[in-house]
Structure 1
Amino acid sequence: MDDPRYEHVACLTTAVGLYEHALFAAPRVEHGMCVDDASRALLVTAREPRPTPDVVSMSRIYLAYLLRAQAADGRMHNRSDDTGRWLDAPATGDHWGRALWAFGTAAAHSPEGQVRAGGVLGAQRALLARSPYPRAMAYAALGAAALMRTAPENLAARRLLHDARSVLSQAESGAGWLWPDHRLTYANAVLPEAMITVGRALHDDELRDRGLALLGWLADHQDVAGHVSVVPAGGRGPGERRPSFDQQPIEVASMAEAAATAFGATGDHRWAALVARCEAWFEGDNDGRLRMRAPSGGGAYDGLEDGSVNLNQGAESTLASVATAQLVDLLADVLSPVAP
C-alpha cells in the first residue's frame, strides 16, 4: 500500500468491496460487506486531494460495489456476502443516503474522470428515491448539495434539497433540551450539518442558523473538561451521566464532518478548533486517555470503553479515523494557530 493512512482499509478491501468487520486486524470474511461502509470508503478516497494510484483503484472498487447495489428506482441493497451476492431487498435506509453523499462527493471532488462520471451516474439514480428517515434524508442532502457544486442547474438535486428541508424544518427544540428528539442516538451531528448545508444551498438563512445553533449545543453537550466526549452507543437523554460508554469513532467523525461544514459556512475558527479536538480524541485526548488508533497498520479501534478499548479494527471505525485526519489536513492552514 503506497499510503500508510489507508493501509488497514486496503487490508479490508477486495476486488468485490470492503469487509465490514475485523477480529483485531483480521477481516471477518463471514460477516460480509455493506453499502454503509463502501459509501464511507468512497467518500474519503474520492475527496483525497492527491490520491495515490492505490487509493484511486480503491475508489473504483467502492464505486462499482455501490452502483451494483442500486435498483432502477434509486433504492439500494445494503448487505452482501463476500462474493457480492445481495442478502436484502433494496430500500432507502441510511445506507441509501450515505451512498448518495458518496456519489455526490465523487462527482464533485475525485480527480479521476472515471470515478467522477460514475458518481454522477449513481447520484442521478439515487435522486429518484426518497426516505422516510430524517438521517437518511440528511445524508442524501449532503450528496445532492455536493453534486450541485458541479451542476448548479441539476433539478433532481434541487428537488431533493427542498424535500430534505421539509423534513429538517419539522424538527422542533424544547426548552433546556435543544435536541429535536427526546434522546441523542447515533450520527447526531449529521442533522445540524444537513441543516447548514441545505440552508446555504437554498439561501435559507433561518435553517442554516438553526443548524449552527444546534451543532453548537451538541458540541457543548459532547464536551467534558475540554475534550470530546461523544454520546455512547446506547444513546443519551436529558440528565444522564457524562461521560458514558461505549463511545464509537463514527460519532467523533460525524462531529468533525459537521464542524468542517460549519467552518466552511462561517469562517469561524471555533469550528476548525472542534475538528482538531475530534482528531485529538483519536490520539488519546478522550475520557479514557487511551489512543484509539492501532500503533501500526493504519487501523482504528471499534470503541472506547470504560478503562479500555475494543481492539477490533472494523471498517467503520478505521474510516472514521481516516476521515477525521483528512479533514484536519484540509484545514491545516487554518488549524495551525488554533489547534489545542
Structure 2
Amino acid sequence: MTAIAPAPLFDHLRRLTNSRGTFEHACFAEPRPEHGFCTDDMARVLVVTTREPDPERTLNGLAGTALRFLDEAQALTGPCRNRMDSVGRWLDEPDVLDAWGRCLWALGTAAAQSGVAHVRRSAVMQFDRGAQARSVWPRAMAFAALGAAELLTVQPDNRAARLLIIDYSAGVAMPNGDLAWPWPEPRLTYANAVLPEAMIAAGVTLEDASLQQRGLDLLGWLLDNELTNGRFSVTPVGGSGPGDPRPAFDQQPIEVSSLADACARAATVDKGVVWLDGIRAAAAWFQGDNDAGQLMWDPETGAGFDGLHADGVNRNQGAESTLAVLSTLQQAQRFSIVSQ
C-alpha cells in the first residue's frame, strides 16, 4: 500500500530552541549552546512555522520567538546581523548578505501565511524596514524577492515589496546562450534552486511571462543536473561545474530543501509532472533514496542529519538540517506526494 510522505515532526526543533532562539548546532541530538544562534536559521524557523497548516500553540510560540529575533537582527536602515552568542550578544555588524535576504523571505512568508494577526502585522512592518536596503549578491536578492512576492499576494499595493521585486528583476542575469551550461554562474554552489525560484515568483508577480519561463527553464535544467535515475545526487558542499564527476560529497540537506521549494513554486504555475517528481525525489532523499542509501532524518523526532558523506552520515542534528527536512516534508504534504 502506498502512503503520503511522512508529516513533519517538530519535536527536535523545539528541543533546539529556548526563549532567545534556535541553537545553530547540535552534537548528535544534544543542542550546543556555545555556538549560539544565527539569523539564517531563525528566518527558516519563521518560514516553516508560519506556513504549517493549523499549527499548534507551541509552533505559534516558535514563530513569535523567530519574529522577535529577526526584529533585533535588523538595523533601522534595513541590513541584518547574522550571528548572536548564547547570551544574546551580536557578534557581527548589519549587512546585506544572505541573512538579510532570508530575513525578508521569512517576513514576507509570515505576513502572507501566518494565522496570527499580530505576527502578520509585525512581519509587514519589519519587511518594510528591511526592504529599504538592496544587495549585490544574487542569492540574497533572490531570497528577498521571494519574500516580496509572498507579501504582495496579500498586500498587492505594498510599495516597498513592489519596488524591491522590480529592482530584483532588473538585476537578473540574462541567458548566456550556452545550452550545455545555461546556469548564470560558472559553478553551482549552494541553495542553487533559489535563483530560478525567484525568477518564477517575480515573473508571476510582475506578469512577466518571459521571466517566469526563464525560471522554469533554468529549474528544469537544474533538476536534470541534480537527478540520477530519478534520485537526487545534489551539488556537494564544494560546488560543482561542467564535467565534474558524480556522485560527489559532502551533500547538504539545504540543497534538497531548496529544490523542493522551487519545484513546489513551479508546480503552482506549470502542470508539468517533473515538478511533482522533484518534490517526491526530495522527500525520498531524506528517507534513504540517496547516494549512500541512508536515512537523513530521525522519524521519531523530526531531526535532520547534517550531511551525507561517501562513507555514511554526519548524525549531528543541527538547526539547518532539521529545518531542511521539515520544509521538504511540508511541500510533500502540500502536494500529497506519495512516499516511495
Partner of 1:208: 212
Give, in whole Å, the separation in 2 of the partners of 1:23 and 1:127: 36
Q: How does 1:301-340 map to 2 (within 5 A)?
A: 301-332=305-336, 335=337, 340=340
Q: How does 1:89-238 map to 2 (within 5 A)?
A: 89-170=93-174, 172-238=176-242
Partner of 2:297: 293
Amino acid at match of 2:275: W
Per-residue deviation, 1:172: 3.0
Task: Tell me how large the CA RMSD over aligned residues is.
Answer: 1.3
Give, in whole Å, the separation in 2 of the partners of 1:201 and 1:295: 37
Per-residue deviation, 1:173: 4.8
Give, in whole Å, the separation in 2 of the partners of 1:327 and 1:168: 26
Partner of 2:86: 82
Confirm or deny: 8 A CA contact 2:33 2:86 kept in the other structure: yes
Uncovered stretches (5+) of structure 1, i.e. residues with no partner: none
Structure 1 residues 175 and 272: CA distance shift in structure 2, 3 A: closer
Count of matched residue positions in the alignment of Structure 1 and Structure 2: 334
Counterpart pick for 1:59 among 45, 60, 63 = 63
Uncovered stretches (5+) of structure 2, i.e. residues with no partner: 1-6
Counterpart pick for 1:70 among 74, 82, 91 = 74
Per-residue deviation, 1:307: 2.6
Q: How does 1:9-20 map to 2 (within 5 A)?
A: 9-20=13-24
Confirm or deny: 8 A CA contact 1:17 1:84 kept in the other structure: no
SS of the aligned residue for 2:298 comes to coil
Give, in whole Å, the separation in 2 of the partners of 1:103 and 1:4: 21
Confirm or deny: 8 A CA contact 2:38 2:83 kept in the other structure: yes
Q: Which has the higher contact order (CA 8 A, sep 6+)?
A: 2
SS of the aligned residue for 1:287 comes to coil
Give a deviation string over 1:73-132, Cα, whole Å, max 9, x none. Answer: 011111001122111000010000001000000000000112111111111111111011
SS of the aligned residue for 2:313 comes to strand
Confirm or deny: 8 A CA contact 2:50 2:110 kept in the other structure: yes
SS of the aligned residue for 1:5 comes to coil
- Paired-residue identity, %: 48
The runs of 4+ residues in structure 1 deviating greater than 4 Å are none
Q: Does 1:246 align with 2:224?
A: no
SS of the aligned residue for 1:262 comes to helix
